Amino acid sequence: MTQTGANSGHGGGSRKTRAAKRMKEIMTEYYLEAMSAGDSGKKVAWITSGGPVEPLLAMDVIPIYPENHSAMIGASKMGADFCAQAEVLGYPRDLCSYARADIACSRSGGGPIGGLPRPDMLICCTNICSTVLKWYEVQARFFQAPLFILDTPLCHGELTREAEAYARQQIDEYIAFLEGVLGRPFDFERLEEVGRLSIQAQRLWREVLQTAVHSPAPLSAFDAFFHLALIVTLRGTQVCVDYYGQLLSELQKRIDQGIGAVFQEKYRLIWDNLPVWPRTKWLSETFASRGACLVADTYTAAWCSTLDLLDESDFLSSMAGAYSRIHLNLGLDRMAETIIQLLDFYRADGLVMHSNRSCKPYSFGQYDIQRLVQDRTGLPVVILEADMVDDRAFAESQVETRIEAFMEMLEQR
């Protein structure tokens, strides 16, 4: 989700992939096409990162992800400035920094790619948080663009029959919404093809992430943060499938050659929560210089976590259950279970949790998850306080001290 992710070089030893170059080309083409949508007659939809993009692609609408853009703002170290601008507009400093950065950039322009193309519609799915509901209300008013909300109630326990039926009903509402905005009938045949490609891309994404099961891990979570961009924005396209195919074969070569993402991998760790975009390089280097590789994370894993619930032969119906059950839309004990599975699968030595001021659904309950994980696995856990975009909330020396203490704990085990 960033142009300047982990692959732009870790002093600690991570290595670039050839696919990274291709990623930059694809993302440049993607944004250029979106910027010139007015000339090509295509419509632009802004959509939340957990939202079902496939119906948009089936209707030839260009999906744009404000979260992705805010991540770029953060990685470009422009986050504090945009967030401060939002505060001048009256938005409190405690609100999500993705939202603050996006709201401010929409009004003032600028940013790492000169702002986003104006939306013709907004698609908001609440499966990642309730914050997006408010954020998209703000933007729908500002752009005077139609807003569709896919409401996926949080599953504290199991997804209820009623909640799944509700989500399914809303998929039909979504299709009717698109037909209304675009003025043409929905292309169900095309959706089948997009659905097939989406499943294929998610399968490849899972394989890419799971290459880190090898020791040394050929990619780190910091690499995954970078490579994530396409599975978020372009799943359901051939270009996405081809990209992850290329990346996977590169990673397999690394495995064959025993090349790790981190030079002399000594410790294997799992990351929880969103990245600290302005500090991914610093964090990557800080961990790598101590021989620690963050081999997996809960964030990037979310884009293939419901793969097994998707049905190629009935993509439309299976979307409802799958989009309702993503990591952030589950109860805390289920989230802890996912982390425990990651720790086990990747044979990890510990857990690093980012207590993210911007993301309450991800960060509230982390102390309980920490306790559940420690009780079950006995592995050490460290919590780092930061923010995903607004680097005013990042105290480098404090974070470094915590990491040092954590690494000492690992060394003594």
Partner 1 sequence: MTPLETFRRISQDPLAALTEWTEDRGLPAVGTNCSCVPEEIIWASGALPFRLLGLSLKTTLADRHLPAFCCSPVKTILEDGLSGSLRDLSGTAFAAGCDSMQRLSDIWRLNVPQGFHLDLELPAKLSKPASLDYLQAVLRRFHQDLLGSLGLKEDGSALPRAIELFNELRARLQELARLRRDRPGCLSGADFLAVSLAAQVMDRAQGITRLDELLAGLKGPPADEGNSLPRLALAGSPCLLPRMISLIEECPARVVADDLCTGERFFHGHVEETADPYEALARRLAARPPCPAKHAGLEARTGFLLQQIKDSQAQGVVLAALKFCDPQGFDIPHIQEVLAAEGLPCLTLELEEQRFAEEQLRTRCQAFVERLEP
List residues near partner 1 by CB under 8 A. 89-92, 94-96, 99, 126, 129-131, 133-135, 137-138, 140-141, 147, 149, 151, 153-157, 160, 162-163, 165-166, 169-170, 173, 331-333, 355, 357, 360-361, 363-368, 372, 385
Closer CB to partner 1, 333 or 411, in the complex: 333
CA atoms of 42 and 57, how far apart (whole Å): 11
User: Least CB distance from residue 93 to partner 1, whole Å?
Assistant: 9
CA atoms of 104 and 121, how far apart (whole Å): 19
For the record, the structure tokens of 149 come out as 């909300």
User: Least CB distance from residue 89 to partner 1, whole Å?
Assistant: 6
User: Least CB distance from residue 137 to partner 1, whole Å?
Assistant: 6
User: Least CB distance from residue 167 to partner 1, whole Å?
Assistant: 9
Closer CB to partner 1, 16 or 156, in the complex: 156
CA atoms of 131 and 137, how far apart (whole Å): 10
DSSP assignments along 114-182, one per residue: S-PPPPSEEEEETTS-SHHHHHHHHHHHHHT--EEEE----BSSSPPHHHHHHHHHHHHHHHHHHHHHH
Closer CB to partner 1, 188 or 367, in the complex: 367
Vertex 305 angle, CA 303 and 310, to 5°: 95
Closer CB to partner 1, 25 or 172, in the complex: 172
Closer CB to partner 1, 140 or 251, in the complex: 140
Closer CB to partner 1, 144 or 313, in the complex: 144
CA atoms of 329 and 362, how far apart (whole Å): 10
User: Least CB distance from residue 339 to partner 1, whole Å?
Assistant: 14
List CB contacts of 67: < 8 A, sequence separation 6 or more: 1, 48, 49, 98, 102, 232
Gyration radius of the chain over CA positions: 20
Closer CB to partner 1, 163 or 292, in the complex: 163
CA atoms of 393 and 274, how far apart (whole Å): 14
For the record, the structure tokens of 64 come out as 């744009």
Q: Count Cβ atoms within 10 A of the Cβ of residue 338 and give its class: 0-12 exposed, 13-18 middle, 19 or more buried.
A: middle
User: Least CB distance from residue 360 to partner 1, whole Å?
Assistant: 4
User: Least CB distance from residue 170 to partner 1, whole Å?
Assistant: 6
